[in-house]
Amino acid sequence: MRAPTLHLMCGKIASGKSTLAKSLAEEHGALLLNEDQWLSRLYPEQIKSVADYVRCARQIRGVLGPLVVDVLTAGVGVVLDFPANTVADRQWLRGLADTAKVPHCLHYLEVDDDTCRVRLHARNALAEHEFAASDAEFDLITRYFQVPDVGEGLEIVMHRNRQPGQFPR
């Protein structure tokens, strides 16, 4: 039996994190938890700013963190489709794996801003995603993005400029 792993997603808006997360959950038979789904269902029409997002995301993390640890401890892998886009985010997420005493894997989707914007515009046009970020919101949120580093104690798998659906199994 394979030990459960906590899979983490790092990448800018529309870099392909959710597509990869779904693929990983299927491949590993893992539980997939998607932050955008939780936010849109628990706080419909309430997230109008980055400050609103931070407040609501903190509440969700307070509830889901212990659940993730329990699921991992029970022997089930977890794919967290939560942005691991800052050092602080990654410390919290890696702490879940450490608490459960299981390995983690940070999947870093390195996609340039122009490609992300094209994908974002296409995603917004389809209106199928929980949140439709504007170009201004993309710029604002991207300013907070911090590239992950192995010095953070992370096991990093790099995914460079892949098209959605082109993730290796």
Asked, for residue 16, whether it belongs to a domain, the answer is yes
Q: What is the pLDDT of residues 49-59, one digit of tens each?
A: 888 888 999 99
Dist. CA 48–CA 65, nearest whole Å: 24
Query: Which distant-in-sequence residues (6+ apart) come within 8 Å of 72 by Cβ?
Result: 4, 6, 78, 96, 97, 100, 102
Asked, for residue 58, whether it belongs to a domain, the answer is yes
Asked, for residue 14, whether it belongs to a domain, the answer is yes
Residue range(s) defining the domain that contains residue 17? 7-160
* pTM (two decimals): 0.90
Dist. CA 104–CA 79, nearest whole Å: 10
Asked, for residue 132, whether it belongs to a domain, the answer is yes
pLDDT at 167: 42
Q: How many domains does the chain have?
A: 1
Asked, for residue 125, whether it belongs to a domain, the answer is yes
Asked, for residue 166, whether it belongs to a domain, the answer is no
Asked, for residue 169, whether it belongs to a domain, the answer is no
Asked, for residue 2, whether it belongs to a domain, the answer is no
Q: Which residues pair with 78 in a beta bridge?
A: 6, 31
Mapped onto helix, strand or coil, the DSSP state of residue 54 is helix
pLDDT in tens, the chain (169 residues): 578 999 999 999 999 999 999 999 999 999 999 999 999 899 988 988 888 888 999 999 999 999 999 999 999 999 999 999 999 999 999 999 999 999 999 999 999 999 999 998 988 787 776 677 888 889 989 999 999 999 999 999 999 865 554 444 3
CATH number of the domain where residue 72 is located: 3.40.50.300
